[in-house]
Structure 1
Amino acid sequence: MMQFITVLVMCILVGSEVDLFIPSFPELQNVFNISTFMVELTLGVNLLAHCFTSLIVGILGDLYGRKPIILIGLIIFIAGSLFCVFAIEYWQLLFGRLLQGIGISGPAVLSYVVIADTYSTEKQQQMMGILNGSVTFAMAFAPVIGSYVSLFFHWRGNFVLLLILGLISLVLGILFIQQGQTKPYTSKCFKEYYVVFQSPKTFYYISTICLLVLPYWLFIGMAPILYIGDLGVTLYEFGFYQGATALMFSIISFSSGYCIKKFGQLNCFIFSISMLCTFIVFTLILIAFRVTNPVIITICMQFLALGIIYPVNILYPLSLESIAYAKGKIAAVIAASRLILIAFSIQTVSYTYQGTFAPIGITMCFILVVMFWCCYKLFRISRPI
């Protein structure tokens, strides 16, 4: 039980690590006198570092066990948080975000694998509802909390909060995380990932999962600039808009285990696909009519929230079982692929952004269309549900 609680705390840290300081973006622009692209780079550098380190973590986690790699990652994350807290110049903040990205990859990749080492696939799917509920709760409410922390303690306050969460995770990890499975004959070479990319089934699992969550992360990354910078929303009001999406994510996530068990995986999956299709239609209407009302845009995002949770909770545990003795590597590829796609999409949209919802909405719709194609290919190959 304590190991599960420890993983839960680490998942909350992983979920909030990116989103907590995002409401500080407008303040960071003023304090460091930087452009939208440069402030978004504090997010992009973090995600890219997280991405590439995840691939190393996947190999080392299979080779040496989960616990030591998680703990080393948390120590690096804490060091990065200290750099951010005491940053005086922009490059110091950027370096701190780089270290945070490197460090967070340990718990981000391997915390789920700790659960996969311990429980059956069916039990994992039930626990995924709680874990993903906690992650999405942290992801969704982090900007809300970050808004009020920024309001009262300014931008450094958010990094102090991350530092405290990192220290708590480190102590719990030392006390309660088990060593986990090891594979002594695992090579330290990146060629170990060849087996993951060689499997079409695993490839489509990874693609579907990554593309499912990508639109939400893209929106979260651009929301402060859109809402506060161009739609006239105050920092105080921004918390309420993010809170609405947070509430929807939390309700669906925490109830997903019960709903999947009661209504069946297939019915929940079909419901999710219908919600994502509704989101695409709604988004295209907003773009066509050039809607600038933040309330309507937030309502549109609720359909995206409804559509993401069930497929991820169903497919993620199945993806880890798609290749024998490769859970760490599969988890690493999922984390790395998701993060590099997030970083690329956010930097691309921020570069082309001109103060409207259109480039954000069009990119989200395009991503979901590609996801539908990958999901179709996955079902043709393996019929996972």
Structure 2
Amino acid sequence: MTGPISEDGNPLAPALEATREFNGNLLILLAGLAAIGTLSTNIILPSFTSMATDIGVPARDLGLLLSSFFAAFAVGQLLVGPLSDRYGRRPLVVLGLAIFIAGSLWCSRADNMNGLIVGRVIQALGVCAASVLSRAIARDLFDGEVLTRALALTMVAMAAAPGFSPLLGGALEQALGWRANFLMVAVLGAVLIPLYLSGAGETLPPSHRNRKALTAAAPGYLRLLFDPRFLLPALAVSLVIGGLYGFFAAAPAILMGHLGLSALQLGWFFAATVFVVFAAGFLAPRFARRFGTVPVGLAGILIALIGGLALLPNLAGGLVPFSLAIAVFLFGMGLINPLGTALTLHPFPDRAGLASALLGCLQMSCAAAITALTSALPLPPVTALGTILASVSALALAAFLLYRNRVTAS
């Protein structure tokens, strides 16, 4: 992995020396910041039926609560990145979590579809700061192998949150009603504020801030998009992450409608997938240290592609084959996600917020598009999901091969 290069072609030192020890408290903090956005989305999925009944709309219309969240989340990150590079991480994290809490409380009181959509947009505009800046904070504090390990464990939490949150959401909905899910994520957001202030605080000192970050944001994003060091690994990661959200969107129809699982069994299935992601995230930095970041990232995409292909009709006729194919895809995703993220951010320590914001926007844009496409394809659910996962993995493989051949070879 080449060192960071400035826009005039000269080597750059990391934005901060990697003097902070990566300990359990920092792991909990970064994981919480990264995961709360995805948790706040998937926790409401088991409650769609009761929510639809209460507010008097068809359950299928509640898909707008997902697409509106993803769209606001994607756009909001483009503003958070340059603002944090100009004014520091702390005000954006604290203000973002406060806005997220307000949006969650709004949703808990909403009694119609429009009110819920407004609340979800407020949630997304707030929580996007926590998600994008979890990566920027890691880049502020760490470099090299430590950065890869920090991102690996953080991305495990971000990918695991959708697995556990439906189980938590189902239990809360059954015990206290669907509004309790929004109150729960509001409480979690409130807990994160003092945890962040005491555990990390400001990680970008004034001497490292970019005073032109706001005026340079648009051209800065364009430069990143045309820089293969950013674009190629970012596309690879975003496509595979989009496939993950496609799986979560399609899984209820497959597991409940086709394979006959109950809502509770669906929650346990999601929770079980987390351990596959845990294993991959645990092994990713160790494999990278031994075999190299790029080769292991490439292997992760190939494994994800195999998992997608295994979902095609002739290879997935029941719960066990489906589960095995999904486990293979998730293991590959768990390898490429942290390694590809580290490769994407490593060359840009002076623009960590900007780069992390654009990466997050690409990921959420892919999630929105792939989730919609998975539902819209005129194919049986398993076939549609297999087609989507295989296709996004193949595209990710092409992007990553270009990265290996054009960037790491230079």
Q: Which residue of 2 aligns with 1:194?
A: 222
Instruction: Give the whole-Å Cα distance in 2 for the aligned partners of 1:384 and 1:139.
Output: 37
Structure 1 residue 258 displacement after superposition: 3.4
Deviations 1:314-337 (Å, cap 9, x if unpaired)?
A: 221221123452211111111011
1:43 maps to amino acid: L
1:238 maps to amino acid: L
Q: Which residue of 1 aligns with 2:371?
A: 346
Q: Which residue of 2 aligns with 1:76?
A: 99
Instruction: Give the whole-Å Cα distance in 2 for the aligned partners of 1:33 and 1:231.
Output: 29
CA 1:298–1:24: 2 relative to 1, 3 Å: farther
| 1:269-308 alignment, distance < 5 Å | 269=297, 271-284=299-312, 286=313, 288=314, 291=317, 293-308=318-333
Query: Is the 1:275–1:303 contact (alpha carbons within 8 Å) kept by the matching residues of 2?
Result: yes
Q: How many pairs does the alignment contain?
A: 382
CA 1:356–1:332: 2 relative to 1, 3 Å: same
SS at match of 1:102: helix
**Structure 2 residue corresponding to 1:23, chosen from 38, 46, 66:** 46
Structure 1 residue 14 displacement after superposition: 3.0
Structure 1 position 238 matched with structure 2 position 266:
yes
Q: Which residue of 2 aligns with 1:158?
A: 181
Structure 1 residue 347 displacement after superposition: 2.3
SS at match of 1:170: helix
CA 1:226–1:89: 2 relative to 1, 3 Å: farther
CA 1:149–1:355: 2 relative to 1, 3 Å: farther
Q: Which residue of 2 aligns with 1:378?
A: 403
CA 1:234–1:154: 2 relative to 1, 3 Å: farther
Deviations 1:30-80 (Å, cap 9, x if unpaired)?
A: 433434542111011001000000000111011111111111111110011
Q: Which residue of 2 aligns with 1:120?
A: 143
Instruction: Give the whole-Å Cα distance in 1 for the aligned partners of 2:247 and 2:153.
Output: 23
Q: Which residue of 2 aligns with 1:13?
A: 36
Moved more, 275-284 or 22-31: 22-31
Instruction: Give the whole-Å Cα distance in 1 for the aligned partners of 2:258 and 2:392.
Output: 24
Query: Over aligned residue pairs, what C-alpha RMSD do you find?
Result: 2.4
Gaps of 5+ in 1: none
**Structure 2 residue corresponding to 1:327, chosen from 339, 352, 376:** 352
SS at match of 1:357: helix
Query: Is the 1:59–1:186 contact (alpha carbons within 8 Å) kept by the matching residues of 2?
Result: yes
Structure 1 position 312 matched with structure 2 position 340:
no
| 1:243-282 alignment, distance < 5 Å | 243-262=271-290, 264-265=292-293, 268-269=296-297, 271-282=299-310
Q: Which residue of 2 aligns with 1:357?
A: 382
Structure 1 residue 171 displacement after superposition: 2.2
2:397 maps to amino acid: F
Q: Which residue of 1 aligns with 2:81?
A: 58
2:225 maps to amino acid: F
Structure 1 position 92 matched with structure 2 position 119:
no
Instruction: Give the whole-Å Cα distance in 2 for the aligned partners of 1:128 and 1:325.
Output: 18
Gaps of 5+ in 2: 1-22
Query: Is the 2:297–2:340 contact (alpha carbons within 8 Å) kept by the matching residues of 1?
Result: no
Q: Which residue of 1 aligns with 2:9?
A: none
SS at match of 1:72: helix
Structure 1 residue 365 displacement after superposition: 1.7
Q: Which residue of 1 aligns with 2:212?
A: 185
Query: Is the 2:298–2:336 contact (alpha carbons within 8 Å) kept by the matching residues of 1?
Result: no
SS at match of 1:178: coil
**Structure 1 residue corresponding to 2:171, chosen from 148, 156, 159:** 148
SS at match of 1:10: helix
Query: Is the 1:125–1:317 contact (alpha carbons within 8 Å) kept by the matching residues of 2?
Result: yes
Moved more, 225-234 or 307-316: 225-234
Query: Is the 1:81–1:160 contact (alpha carbons within 8 Å) kept by the matching residues of 2?
Result: yes
Instruction: Give the whole-Å Cα distance in 1 for the aligned partners of 2:275 and 2:70.
Output: 25
Deviations 1:206-257 (Å, cap 9, x if unpaired)?
A: 1111012111111112323443345432111112221221221122223433
1:186 maps to amino acid: A
CA 1:214–1:61: 2 relative to 1, 3 Å: same
Instruction: Give the whole-Å Cα distance in 2 for the aligned partners of 1:309 and 1:154.
Output: 33
Deviations 1:134-156 (Å, cap 9, x if unpaired)?
A: 22222322222223223333322
CA 1:227–1:84: 2 relative to 1, 3 Å: farther
Instruction: Give the whole-Å Cα distance in 2 for the aligned partners of 1:143 and 1:384.
Output: 43
Q: Which residue of 1 aligns with 2:256?
A: 228
Instruction: Give the whole-Å Cα distance in 1 for the aligned partners of 2:167 and 2:46.
Output: 8
Structure 1 position 206 matched with structure 2 position 229:
no
Instruction: Give the whole-Å Cα distance in 1 for the aligned partners of 2:42 and 2:323.
Output: 17
Structure 1 residue 278 displacement after superposition: 2.1
Moved more, 105-114 or 137-146: 137-146
CA 1:290–1:187: 2 relative to 1, 3 Å: closer
Query: Is the 1:22–1:224 contact (alpha carbons within 8 Å) kept by the matching residues of 2?
Result: no
1:11 maps to amino acid: A
CA 1:350–1:79: 2 relative to 1, 3 Å: same
Deviations 1:267-320 (Å, cap 9, x if unpaired)?
A: 633542442232133112x3x4783x3443222100111111222222212211
Moved more, 157-166 or 229-238: 229-238
TM-score by length of 1: 0.91
Instruction: Give the whole-Å Cα distance in 1 for the aligned partners of 2:380 and 2:48.
Output: 15
Instruction: Give the whole-Å Cα distance in 2 for the aligned partners of 1:315 and 1:161.
Output: 32
2:230 maps to amino acid: T
1:221 maps to amino acid: A
SS at match of 2:381: coil
